[in-house]
Amino acid sequence: MMRSMISLLAVLSLAHSAVAQVSPELKAKLTDELKFIASIYQNHYAPKGWKETHLGWDLSAELKKAQAKVQSAQSVKDYRSAVVDLLNSTQDYHVGYSFQSTERATLPFQVKTVEGKALLVFIDRTKLSETAFPFQLGDELISMNGVSVADLQKSIIDYIGSNVPGTDLALSDLYITRRSARANAPVPQGPVLLSMLRAGETTPVTHQLVWEYQKEMIPGLFSNKSERKSLSWFQSPKMYSAKAMEFRNLGNSWGVGERKGYLPNLGKRIWESAKDTEFDAYIYKNEDGKLIGVVRIPSYYPDDRDKATKDFVAVMKKMDQLTDGLVIDQLNNPGGSVFYLYALVSMLTDTSLATPKHRMNINPADVQEALTTLETLAAIKTDEQAIAALGETLEGYPNSYQMVVNMRAFSEFIINQWNSGNKLTEPFYVWGVDRINPHPEVQYTKPVVLLINELDFSGGDFFPTILQDNQRVTIVGARTAGAGGYVLEASFPNSFGLTNLSFTGSLAERVNLKPIENLGVTPDIPLALTVKDLRGNFVDYLNVVRKTINEQVK
């Protein structure tokens, strides 16, 4: 065991020392691998045409830039940044990548930038006591090691990629105190000198912390095994942002996908959901005596979609029985499963709701999958047979013979599109589900206000899209990120240490025929957080939300 460990360390050491002496042959290999990555986006990236017309994206030009960067690279990060630059040029929050690396660094606090000020919104007091860090929530971070927060955010956006300004800024806030070489981010270590400005004061003070640093244990360039991941048509399509998923489970309400959100209660809780349910939900009484429900949807990708759906059924039954109106908090939602999302939507209506159409990039493997699906489903003639073959639900969405009919229609569509010479299909409904029928157990029909923001991605774009396009809700907040399709993943043998990459496999369009990609969902009532909100218990923000729902339940 010890001898094998010594051998492994020797190999890693040799790989590390060889980084600055990469041979022309290896550089040629890296250049070819970049070409292969580009071919994935040339042949399988559904929004390619949209990016070309909307953004002026030129894949060939971006590939040449990346290949030139490989030729001049001096370090592992330089080589990997060639890949990152190529992928980031898509300006797509679905486009993700991860490198084999252990290097990372964190600081035990988090900031949120509002009105140009990076304010403390979370401090981990288990690691930073008030004695060790004598600052409070709402105090402002001015600079780190003499670099202003604004300049730091610009540098972060440079390596994570620019897209929608509001979302980019919000993501950069998360990166300020969390860096990982898996994303090829520069990872700091050692002391960091913070310049802080306490609320109500005019003179900044300095305070030193030390980065909690994990060193790199996998240095160098190397190959990884091949794994091609395909999308099974008996599973729900994925709709989440890989970049956003990096900030799940941070243990504070300002992360993404957290059960308990950052908003204070809209009123005194007179009923609330159990702590072991997926949803933090409660009911309060407004000043007119009306009962208002509040439910937080943290993500569309819970660990157990069937259990989470049952939890939502129970919550919505309570809301239907007792409340006069409902506020849904979908803030900082990274997305998730399409069928699960449809299941939640189905409980908010007593009439069917139209879904977005998708232009889907297809290949022979998809056609083979369609043929297999038709063969598998051919013998199904009843609800009972459909449930026996596919399960009672599809990630929470009720299954039935009608679902089988939809899947057959979808499979036939894929085959016909391929036979017609279309690699990018005409607009059609994912899995053939053109409308979401009301849920058989609960149908909430009272007024609904939906809260959205710039850290709502993918499924977090589609949930408000469906409800807004069907005029079912009033949406309050800031526009969503605009990750407008489902996600596909792939990996292949390479010398960059790239473990996998993700890309958008479909381009969804709304009822008005506009894409969701890059455009997101615009709220009916714009509402942004302010310095006063973060320092004053969100009074102004909550007042707008209360006013909106109160007007609808009168």
DSSP per-residue string spanning 347-396: TT-SS-EE--EEEEB--HHHHHHHHHHHHHHTT--SHHHHHHHH-SEETT
CB 313 within 8 A of CB 433: no
Q: What confidence category does residue 16 fall into, taking pLDDT thresholds of 50, 70 and 90?
A: very low
Dihedral class, residue 56 (left if φ above 0, else alpha if ψ from -120 to 50, else beta): left
143-152 pLDDT, tens per residue? 999 999 999 9
**Percent of the chain residues past pLDDT 90, beyond the cut:** 87
Average pLDDT over residues 363-378: 94
Q: Where in the chain is the domain with CATH 1.20.920.70?
A: 21-91
* Sign of the CA dihedral running 528, 534, 539, 542: positive
Kindly report the length of the chain: 554
Burial of 321 (0-12, 13-18, 19+ CB in 10 A): exposed
Average pLDDT over residues 464-489: 97
Q: Which two tokens stand for residue 328?
A: 């849904």
Average pLDDT over residues 354-369: 95
436-449 pLDDT, tens per residue? 999 999 999 999 99
Q: Which two tokens stand for residue 464?
A: 């408000």
Q: Which two tokens stand for residue 67?
A: 């290949």
* Interatomic CA distance for residues 38 and 58, integer angstroms: 11
Average pLDDT over residues 167-195: 97
Return the biggest CA–CA distance within the chain. 76
Q: Is residue 362's pLDDT more than 80?
A: yes
388-439 pLDDT, tens per residue? 999 999 999 999 999 999 999 999 999 999 999 999 999 999 999 999 999 9
Q: Which two tokens stand for residue 262?
A: 């950052």
Q: Is residue 365's pLDDT more than 80?
A: yes
Q: Give residue 488's pLDDT.
A: 92
Q: Give residue 12's pLDDT.
A: 35
Burial of 286 (0-12, 13-18, 19+ CB in 10 A): middle
- Return the DSSP state at 424: B
489-517 pLDDT, tens per residue? 888 889 999 998 999 999 999 999 999 99
Q: Where in the chain is the domain with CATH 3.90.226.10?
A: 238-553
Q: Is residue 256's pLDDT more than 90?
A: yes
Q: Give residue 222's pLDDT.
A: 64
Residues near 295 by beta carbon (within 8 Å), at least 6 away in sequence: 279, 280, 281, 312, 315, 316, 319, 326, 327, 328, 329
Q: Give residue 201's pLDDT.
A: 97
Q: What are phi and psi of 551, to 5 degrees?
A: -65, -25
Q: Give residue 243's pLDDT.
A: 84
Report helix, strand or coil for 467. Answer: helix
Nearest 10 degrees: Cα torsion 385, 389, 391, 392: -10
Closest CA to 353 of 513, 510, 471: 471
Task: Please provide the distance, in angstroms rounded to a whole number, between the alpha carbons at the two ends of the chain.
Answer: 73
* Interatomic CA distance for residues 16 and 30, integer angstroms: 17
- The amino acid present at 56, given as its one-letter code, is G
Q: Give residue 495's pLDDT.
A: 92
Least confident of 163-177, 215-229, 260-274, 473-487: 215-229
Q: Give residue 7's pLDDT.
A: 36
CB 345 within 8 A of CB 467: yes
Average pLDDT over residues 253-260: 96
* Interatomic CA distance for residues 29 and 33, integer angstroms: 6
Q: Where in the chain is the domain with CATH 2.30.42.10?
A: 104-214
Q: Is residue 363's pLDDT more than 80?
A: yes
CB 316 within 8 A of CB 438: no
**In CATH, 21-91 is 1.20.920.70:** yes
Q: Give residue 242's pLDDT.
A: 83
Q: Give residue 246's pLDDT.
A: 86
Strand order in the sheet with 104-106: 178-180, 104-106, 212-214
> What CATH number should be reported for the domain whose range is 238-553?
3.90.226.10
93-124 pLDDT, tens per residue? 999 999 999 999 999 999 999 999 999 999 99
* Interatomic CA distance for residues 84 and 63, integer angstroms: 11
Who wins on pLDDT, 230 or 37?
37
Q: What are phi and psi of 217, to 5 degrees?
A: -110, -5
Average pLDDT over residues 201-212: 98
Q: Which two tokens stand for residue 96?
A: 């993700």
Average pLDDT over residues 21-45: 92
Average pLDDT over residues 222-229: 50
Question: Bridge-partner residues for 361, per DSSP?
Answer: 424
226-239 pLDDT, tens per residue? 444 444 545 568 88
Give the CATH number of domain 104-214; options: 2.30.42.10, 2.60.40.3080, 3.40.1000.10, 2.40.30.10: 2.30.42.10
CB 280 within 8 A of CB 266: no
Q: What confidence category does residue 21 fall into, taking pLDDT thresholds of 50, 70 and 90?
A: low
CB 476 within 8 A of CB 454: no
Q: What confidence category does residue 223 fall into, taking pLDDT thresholds of 50, 70 and 90?
A: low
* Interatomic CA distance for residues 355 and 469, integer angstroms: 9
